[in-house]
């Protein structure tokens, strides 16, 4: 890529390792089918599995349908960055479903480090927005350090689309799928407050940040003040953002009507779509952690009526969203997180973003403590972007008003009521288990991630007596344009473990041994998935290459086994990072559970969601099992013995284990295996994704930037609110920068 930014590229530039990354290999057909049979056997009856074996035998026969599709796929992949990318893009963007609860995940951040601002909405929002702008600036100049895990670089292609991107709906008559448009020159931020939309310029032409944290505070105070002018009922009637929660074709139809009704509406939508991100200020304080998670996942639901009026209206935060974009959400009490549309980015990319901005707020707070004792640069900045105040750049916030036709007003109401149905049908419950965590699990020679996977499968089995399909995404970003591979955690040994643990006959030692066997099998298979040797992505690509070449789709893909593998009752994902308190997503099937979890040194966090199922009871069953494991393994006695693992987790190697295991009677065979499992599980603590993840690098289209005249004129100045907040003086048309003219 040749641009004004390419000259800044150095050995540590954001994309410096891209050309060194290997391509995701197309697995051998025989290997994939053997694993496929082992994955489906535990979730099938003997009769159903016999029929599946026959379908596989026919599909893999010499000169048969499987071999022909494999040849087509290998030929297709020769000039592609990734053989699966196009197909996952189509799978993600073609469905007509709403992104709310079906696609968009959320992160809930830990409280901020500075108590003076962490409980203040404006203070927390300004701090995180300023850090986000520095992150965006480093990406613009391509000086953000690339992701590297254990000395191996990860693909950074997704970072080109984290900012300035939006998913654009299309009617089926105009296109077969939605598209993601990205503006690489985006310089502004959109703010949502009480269902209303504002925007302000935040970056200069060279990519440096034009407003500091105090400037942003003034902007947000002005927005909050202005947003109160509109009556609450009128806000609900004109909450354009709730339209993004509609099914895609319906939203596309309403969007087209808005654009055709007014050129002003078209310009307003362009400003929103091309914004770096949407900062959401919620007029809401969650009562507990369960409400907090639900708010960041889908918003709150609260009906109100005007005095003397029997007509109700929506006053919840569910209408204060723009689900087609990356959203940074901050509540009245300072609780903060993100909800993101991830057609173009997966959770690992979003995690890097939130981790860096949270870390930057921590470092900034530390700098404020030490600057009076040491030199100003005693603690280096985490996001060291250039911040250049420029009084010639107007960064005052402007309000986006829409000219909404009556038909679109009706659709806003319908969108809100349909979203309300989804919210009321969904249940989110949190388990913050504090009795033990990673240290205890590794002290008992088990991979933390695999251990948690078994806990989820066991809880479902104990509650319903059924062994069902479970999904866990495994990171494949070691490959060019890599996303995730599907790990099917309901393995044969996992089934034996569930049957043994829930039986009254086996001894405690036998139950623990079955648990360890299941954990070991899972950890080994995860490693294969990370190496591009999974099952799901390969089989899906074979099915897709048939359609692409107008070849009849083989009967193999209509077999009960393939359908069972793709009905994910337990959609799970691991996201381990100290910056997060919670993360989660909705179930991927109507009768399933969505389970996001975080593994801490001394605790386990689960966010469990479902529709019309016993979510809280599932969580209670899960907690009961964890306490049983603790009891069976002898409480917490092993934590102190192996506590050194906690402090040297990132340096763990076989040699480090030898000194411990030589004193604790661990066999040479097992100690090597424990070391490999530990090294692997730690390297992949940050894995996150969903079964609908889609490769997008070659699908994202560059959108033209909003022209300067449109950017300046489409919004309405809110000068009165700005003057009331003291951000500008009555006789000046420029905002004060850092407290000076």
pLDDT tens column, 624-646: 999 999 999 986 444 333 333 33
- Here the tokens at position 508 are 């405690």
> Does position 265 have pLDDT exceeding 60, yes or no?
yes
Dump pLDDT digits (tens) for 400-449. 999 999 999 999 999 999 999 999 999 999 999 999 999 999 999 999 99
Four-point Cα dihedral 684, 690, 695, 700, nearest 10: -120
Arithmetic mean of pLDDT, 532-547? 96
What span, in angstroms and rounded, lies between the C-alpha atoms of 497 and 585?
A: 27
User: Is 586's pLDDT higher than 90?
Assistant: yes
| pLDDT of res. 722 | 53
Tokens of 176: 């077969």
- Cα–Cα distance measured from residue 125 to residue 591, given in angstroms and rounded to the nearest whole number: 37
> For residue 343, what pLDDT is reported?
87
Alpha-carbon distance 520 to 514, whole Å? 10
The C-alpha angle with vertex 692 and arms to 690 and 694, in degrees rounded to 5, equals: 105
Beta strand 327-330 pairing with 426-433: unpaired
Sign of the dihedral through C-alpha 411, 417, 420, 422: negative
- Residue 591 pLDDT exceeds 70: yes
pLDDT of residue 377: 77
What pLDDT, on the 0 to 100 scale, is given for residue 372? Answer: 83
CA distances from 449 to 196, 299, 473 (A): 42, 29, 12
Give pLDDT, residue 658.
32
pLDDT of residue 635: 63
Query: What is the torsional sign of CA 608, 590, 284, 596?
Result: positive
555's CB contacts (< 8 A; 6+ apart) are 55, 58
Which helix H or strand E contains 181, and what residues bound it? strand 179-182
Both tokens of 170, joined, read 């299309």
For 692-709, the DSSP string reads T----TTTPEEPPPPPHH
Q: Which two tokens stand for residue 622?
A: 């899960």
pLDDT tops 80 at residue 331: yes
The reply to whether 413 belongs to the active site is no
Sign of CA dihedral 594, 337, 89, 684: negative
For residue range 195-234, list pLDDT tens digits in order. Answer: 999 999 999 999 999 999 999 999 999 999 999 999 999 9
- List for the chain the helix, strand, coil content (%; round to 5): 45, 15, 40
Shortest CA distance to 39 belongs to which of 586, 529, 477?
Answer: 529
Residues 6+ apart with CB under 8 A from 503: none
Mean pLDDT of 314-343: 96
Which residue intervals of 275-337 are DSSP H helices? 289-298
Report whether 489 contacts 472 (CB < 8 A). Answer: yes
Write down the pLDDT at residue 333. Answer: 97
d(CA 283, CA 302): 12
Q: How far apart are CA 404 and CA 418, in angstroms?
A: 20
Distance CA 41, CA 55 (A): 13
pLDDT of residue 378: 86
Closest CA to 205 of 459, 406, 5, 21: 5
Residue holding tokens 């009254």?
A: 504
Is the predicted pLDDT of residue 729 greater than 80, yes or no? no
- Going by pLDDT thresholds of 50, 70 and 90, the confidence category of residue 719 is low
**Best CA proximity match to 432, nearest among 330, 584, 328, 295:** 584
Q: Return the minimum-mean-pLDDT range out of 320-334, 432-446, 682-696.
A: 682-696
Helices (H), 228-346: 232-237, 248-261, 263-274, 289-298
Q: Whole-angstrom Cα distance, residue 648 to residue 656?
A: 9
Helix spans in 502-592 (H): 508-530, 536-548, 560-565
Q: Edge to edge, what strands does the sheet with 570-574 contain?
A: 426-433, 603-611, 593-600, 570-574, 470-475, 484-488
Q: Summarize pLDDT for 517-534 with one digit per residue, the tens.
A: 999 999 999 999 999 999
> Would the pLDDT of 573 be above 50?
yes
pLDDT at position 172 is: 72
> Which pLDDT belongs to residue 740?
29
Are 374 and 600 contacting, i.e. CB atoms less than 8 angstroms apart? no
Give the C-alpha separation, 386 to 205, whole Å: 12
From the candidates 170, 253, 290, 342, give the one annotated as an active-site residue. 342
Closest CA to 301 of 443, 389, 428: 428
Condensed to tens digits (0 to 9), the pLDDT of residues 62-118 reads 999 999 999 999 999 999 999 999 998 888 898 999 999 999 999 999 999 998 889
- The residues with which 570 forms a beta bridge, in sequence order, are 470, 593
pLDDT, position 344: 86
What band does 699 get if pLDDT is binned at 50, 70 and 90? Answer: low
Cα separations (Å) of 633 from 207, 335, 444, 590, 657? 55, 37, 8, 36, 20
7 pLDDT above the threshold of 80: no
- H or E stretch covering 49: helix 46-60
Output the pLDDT for position 698: 52
User: What's the pLDDT band for 708 if we cut at 50, 70, 90?
Assistant: confident
Does residue 367 have a pLDDT over 60? yes
DSSP 8-class letter at 591: T
340-347 mean pLDDT:
89
Least reliable range by pLDDT among 271-275, 420-424, 518-522, 718-722: 718-722
- How far is 218 from 276, CA to CA, in rounded Å? 20
Mean confidence (pLDDT) of the chain: 87
Q: For position 30, what pLDDT does the model report? A: 97
DSSP three-state, residue 613: coil
pLDDT at 678 over 60: no
Contact 608, 594 (CB under 8 A): yes
Q: Which of 131-135, 196-200, 688-692 has the weakest average pLDDT?
A: 688-692
Share of the chain above pLDDT 70, in %: 86
Has this prediction a pTM greater than 0.95?
no
Q: In the chain, how many H helices and how many E strands?
A: 26, 22
* Cα distance between residue 30 and residue 27, in whole Å: 9
What pLDDT does residue 714 have? 87
Tokens of 527: 């490693």
């Amino acid at each position: 890529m040749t641009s004004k930014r390419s000259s800044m590229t150095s050995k540590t530039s954001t994309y410096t390792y891209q050309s060194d990354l290997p391509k995701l290999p197309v697995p051998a057909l025989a290997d994939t089918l053997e694993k496929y049979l082992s994955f489906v056997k535990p979730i099938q009856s003997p009769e159903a599995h016999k029929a599946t074996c026959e379908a596989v035998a026919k599909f893999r026969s010499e000169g048969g349908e499987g071999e022909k599709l494999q040849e087509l796929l290998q030929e297709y992949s020769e000039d592609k960055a990734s053989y699966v990318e196009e197909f996952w893009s189509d799978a993600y963007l073609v469905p007509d479903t709403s992104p709310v609860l079906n696609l968009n995940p959320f992160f809930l951040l830990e409280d901020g480090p500075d108590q003076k601002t962490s409980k203040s909405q404006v203070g927390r929002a300004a701090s995180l927005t300023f850090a986000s702008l520095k992150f965006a600036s480093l990406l613009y100049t391509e000086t953000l350090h690339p992701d590297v895990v254990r000395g191996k670089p990860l693909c950074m292609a997704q970072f080109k689309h984290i900012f300035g991107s939006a998913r654009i709906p299309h009617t089926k008559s105009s296109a077969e799928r939605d598209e993601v448009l990205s503006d690489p020159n985006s310089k502004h931020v959109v703010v949502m407050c009480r269902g209303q939309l504002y925007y302000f310029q935040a970056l200069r032409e060279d990519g440096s940040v034009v407003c500091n944290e105090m400037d942003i505070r003034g902007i947000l105070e002005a927005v909050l003040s202005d947003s109160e002018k509109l009556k609450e009922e009128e806000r609900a009637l004109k909450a354009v953002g709730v339209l993004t929660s509609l099914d895609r074709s319906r939203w596309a139809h309403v969007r087209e009507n808005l654009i055709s009704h007014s050129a002003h509406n078209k310009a307003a939508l362009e400003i929103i779509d091309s914004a770096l991100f949407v900062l959401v200020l919620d007029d809401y304080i969650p009562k507990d952690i369960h409400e907090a998670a639900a708010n960041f996942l889908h918003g709150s639901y609260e009906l109100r009526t005007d005095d003397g009026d029997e007509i109700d209206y929506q006053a919840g935060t569910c209408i204060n969203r723009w689900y087609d974009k990356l959203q940074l959400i901050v509540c009245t009490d300072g609780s903060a997180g993100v909800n993101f549309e991830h057609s173009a980015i997966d959770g690992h990319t979003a995690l890097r973003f939130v981790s860096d901005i949270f870390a930057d707020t921590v470092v900034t707070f530390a700098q404020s403590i030490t600057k009076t004792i040491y030199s100003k640069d005693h603690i280096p900045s985490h996001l060291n972007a250039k911040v250049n105040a420029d009084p010639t750049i107007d960064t005052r916030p402007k309000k986006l008003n829409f000219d909404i036709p009556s038909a679109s007003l009706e659709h806003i109401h319908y969108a809100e009521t349909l979203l309300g149905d989804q919210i009321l049908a969904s249940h989110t419950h949190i388990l913050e288990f504090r009795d033990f965590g990673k240290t205890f699990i590794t002290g008992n020679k088990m991979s933390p991630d695999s251990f948690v996977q078994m806990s989820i499968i066991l809880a479902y089995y104990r509650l319903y007596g059924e062994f069902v399909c479970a999904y866990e995404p495994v990171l494949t970003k070691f490959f060019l344009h890599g996303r995730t591979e599907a790990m099917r955690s309901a393995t044969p040994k996992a089934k034996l473990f569930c049957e043994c643990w829930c039986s009254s006959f086996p001894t405690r030692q036998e139950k623990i041994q079955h648990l360890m066997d299941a954990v070991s099998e899972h950890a080994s298979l995860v490693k294969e998935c990370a190496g591009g040797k999974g099952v799901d992505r390969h089989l899906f690509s074979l099915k897709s290459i048939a359609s692409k070449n107008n070849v009849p789709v083989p009967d193999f893909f209509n077999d009960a086994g393939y359908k069972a593998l793709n009905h994910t009752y337990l959609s799970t994902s691991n996201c381990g990072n100290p910056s997060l308190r919670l993360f989660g997503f909705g179930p991927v099937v109507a009768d399933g559970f969505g389970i996001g979890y975080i593994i801490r040194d001394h605790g386990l966090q689960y966010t469990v969601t479902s529709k019309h199922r016993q979510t809280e009871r599932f969580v209670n069953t899960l907690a009961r099992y964890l306490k049983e494991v603790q009891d069976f393994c002898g409480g917490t006695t092993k934590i102190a013995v192996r506590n050194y693992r906690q402090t040297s987790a990132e340096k763990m190697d076989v040699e480090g284990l030898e000194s411990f295991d030589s004193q604790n009677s661990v066999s040479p065979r097992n100690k090597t295996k424990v070391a490999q499992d530990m090294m692997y599980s730690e390297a992949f603590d940050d894995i996150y994704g969903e079964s609908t993840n889609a490769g997008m690098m070659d699908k994202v289209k560059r959108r033209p930037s909003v022209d300067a005249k449109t950017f300046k004129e489409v919004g309405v100045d809110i000068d009165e609110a700005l003057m009331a907040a003291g951000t500008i003086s009555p006789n000046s048309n420029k905002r004060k920068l850092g407290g000076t003219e």
